[in-house]
Structure 1
Amino acid sequence: MPRLNAEDAGRREAAGHGPDFLEALARGLAVLQAFGPERRQMTLAEVAREVDLPRATVRRALHTLVVLGHVAAEGKLFRLTPGVLRLAAGYLGSNGLSNILQPRCEKLSAEVGAPCSAAVLDGAEIVFIAYGQPARLLNLTTNVGLRLPAFCTALGRVLLAGLPEAEMEAVLARHPPVALTPQTELDPARIRKRIAKARSDGFALVDQEAEQGFRSLAVPLRRHDGRVVAALNIGMHTERGTATALREGFLPLLRAQAAELAQQLL
């Protein structure tokens, strides 16, 4: 079996990944994750710069991903293909949370006439695992799989509030806040106060911190033993009403949904 070169061995030891960690697999996944809404297609050089890897390494990773059907090459440009959805489909299909929450989000969205979503925490980000929107909205895209910073979203704050204090502090310490809108709170002390308030109130309301012109209200979803496993959200564009109207109109409904779901979430 080929031995690690000194640089790879040193990096692995420093990272604490252990002897069974596959550098090649990690690099391939990093290449996949480099693509996104603002980087829909890239050249080899752009991908290499994004993932901070040698061009030769990225070339081999891209070639492998093209052969496997996850990436398409058009001239000098590379882009993801629908084949990558097979990776997400495995998670969504095997994850009981998604199966339970997707129809609930669709039903709730139809009732209130506003977008409704559910998310879980992945490090310092939230990942949407269910999403519903009113039929009157012509946007045909889905937010399932979308990732956003946890610190400035209503879903994220209730999920962070559900962590043990030391774990929450570790997450925040590793990921300094970055502004998404002019309203995004960046002061670490005030961010922690808002998370603490979400914990004591049992909900979080975020006003245009994650998206300009959009407010969001979220409650934690707890399983039968009280552990927070996801969060449920209703969003509203600012022209539809005030933050107070959002809270007073939808918080009782969200709490009722959370109570109903408690016995279904494992």
Structure 2
Amino acid sequence: MPKLKRDAGGEAATDYVESLDRGLRLLQLFGTRPGAMTLSDIARIADLPRATARRILLTLQRGGFVASDGKLFALTPQVLTLASSFLRSSQLVNVLQPVLDRVAESVKEIASLAVLDGDEVVFIARGGPVRVFSGGLEIGYRLPAFCTSVGRAMLGQFSEAELAARLKSASLQALTPQTVTAPKRLLAVIADDRRKGYSLVDREAEPHFRSISVPVRRYDDVIVAAINIGSHVDRISTDEMTTRFLPLLQDAAASVRSQLL
């Protein structure tokens, strides 16, 4: 988590509200450790003066986003309204949620929608039978882009030079024994996925999970997201993913293209 002491990145002072930036980033700090925290803990983690952290917390408490018993501070459910505002306003979610539901119901597996955020992918919608819902891929869940099928499907939009630069700056840490971390090999894999039009990742992001993804393009052919179907390795083979799941994903992505602006 980046520190809260930031400059305005060269922007005019009148275009940058530092206190708002600090307040939003302080909210994010609560996700770095479980449970409530003391003012001293928060000030230390945020690298802020204690008095500054206190003013921000009291402002957030007045807005209903933070609660305190006088000693400990914790987030309230009001924070979830920030995420729900995004989900309600997202064209991608509104257009693709019913599509994900249909695909997931037809294959009896989880289908997910993800977007690229820096070096990570963020899952913003999913559909699936209740019996296979698990806590692993909830809305807002993040994973490194380089080792996920949705990530590789979206990384294929970049040129070789842009992709090489991205991989050079990214943290390519293995999440499982199968994770590919060598930049040259990753470049070759992503290029091959681009050529095929889909990505299949087998146990690289999670040890017992494999998934297949296709990019989602808007009306002008720009890749804006990726959709996937994932499954436990004991339930679905890689062959079944390409023969049974891939056509469904391709049809789903094609069906929404004209609706995405």
Quick check: TM above 0.5? yes
Following the alignment from structure 2 to structure 1, what is the Cα–Cα distance between the partners of residues 164 and 10? 21
What is the percentage of aligned positions where both structures have the same residue?
48
Residues 1:158 and 2:165 are matched in the alignment:
no
- Correspondent of 2:97 among 89, 102, 111: 102
Structure 2 match to 1:256: 251
Q: Rate the CA distance shift 1:147–1:18 in 2: closer, same or farther, 3 A.
A: farther
Following the alignment from structure 2 to structure 1, what is the Cα–Cα distance between the partners of residues 203 and 12? 42
Following the alignment from structure 2 to structure 1, what is the Cα–Cα distance between the partners of residues 73 and 187? 40
Deviations for 1:217-262, whole angstroms, at most 9, x for unmatched residues?
A: 1100112221111111100001103223322221111111112122
Q: Structure 2-normalised TM-score?
A: 0.86
- Correspondent of 1:72 among 60, 67, 78: 67
Gapped regions of structure 2 (runs ≥ 5):
none
Following the alignment from structure 1 to structure 2, what is the Cα–Cα distance between the partners of residues 155 and 236? 14
Residues 1:181 and 2:176 are matched in the alignment:
yes
Residues 1:16 and 2:10 are matched in the alignment:
yes
Give the drift of 1:96: 1.1
Gapped regions of structure 1 (runs ≥ 5):
1-7
Give the drift of 1:186: 2.2
Moved more, 48-57 or 206-215: 48-57
SS of corresponding position for 2:7: helix
What pairs with 1:34-49 in structure 2 (closer than 5 Å)? 34-36=29-31, 39-49=34-44
Instruction: Say how many residue pairs are matched.
Output: 256
Aligned residues of 2:180 and 2:186 also touching (Cα < 8 A):
yes
Deviations for 1:18-41, whole angstroms, at most 9, x for unmatched residues?
A: 422222222112111223385354
Residues 1:191 and 2:202 are matched in the alignment:
no
Residues 1:242 and 2:248 are matched in the alignment:
no
Q: Which amino acid aligns with 1:83?
A: Q
Q: Which amino acid aligns with 1:152?
A: C
Q: Structure 1-normalised TM-score?
A: 0.85
Q: Which amino acid aligns with 1:12?
A: D
Moved more, 125-134 or 176-185: 176-185
What pairs with 1:115-264 in structure 2 (closer than 5 Å)? 115-137=110-132, 139=134, 143-264=138-259
Following the alignment from structure 1 to structure 2, what is the Cα–Cα distance between the partners of residues 209 and 12? 37
